[in-house]
Amino acid sequence: MIEIKHRKTGEVLRLVETPGRHDQHLSGAALSGAALAGADLRRRNLCCAELSGADLTGADLRFADLRGANLEGANLEGANLCGARIGEAILREARLARALLNGADLTEADLRRADLSNASLIDAKLLGADLRDCILAGAKMLGARSDEATRWGDVPEERQPA
């Protein structure tokens, strides 16, 4: 059993029974401000989880389901989000406004309709990512890498990066 603690107060936010089991759902979990740096969250269901202000620096979120999650102001620098499902939520879109995604690997991530306004994606990998209908207003994307497989779609001017 592991404890997920608040990054500043040390308060226990959630107990996770088996850290290696990827079938354990954390959907809707209240993890605002959680200390999850370097955490193995591969293939975890984090739909609609409250992760605002969480420290997910270097976390492994490959193929995680983050649809509808609130990641506003979260630190995801150096996180691996390859193949993560982030956009196109049924209930609500993922919110990553002001999130730090510097150096994050978003290869083939589904970011459709996600709010990335004022997020920092400096040196992020967006190879084959789906960014259709994303809100990118004010996003910093210096050095971000994309390729011909990256799907941008028609981004209205007010949603485009600065």
Residue 135 lies in a domain: yes
Picking from 79, 86, 80, the residue whose alpha carbon sits closest to that of residue 55 is 79
Q: Report how many domains make up the chain.
A: 1
Strands (DSSP E) along the chain, which ranges? Answer: 2-5, 12-16
- Does 37 fall in a domain? yes
- Tens-digit pLDDT profile for the chain (162 aa)? 778 999 999 999 998 876 555 556 789 999 999 999 999 999 999 999 999 999 999 999 999 999 999 999 999 999 999 999 998 665 567 899 999 999 999 999 999 889 999 999 999 999 999 999 899 999 999 999 999 999 987 655 555 565
Domain of 45? 20-162
CATH, residue 118: 2.160.20.80
Residue 150 is assigned to a structural domain of this protein? yes
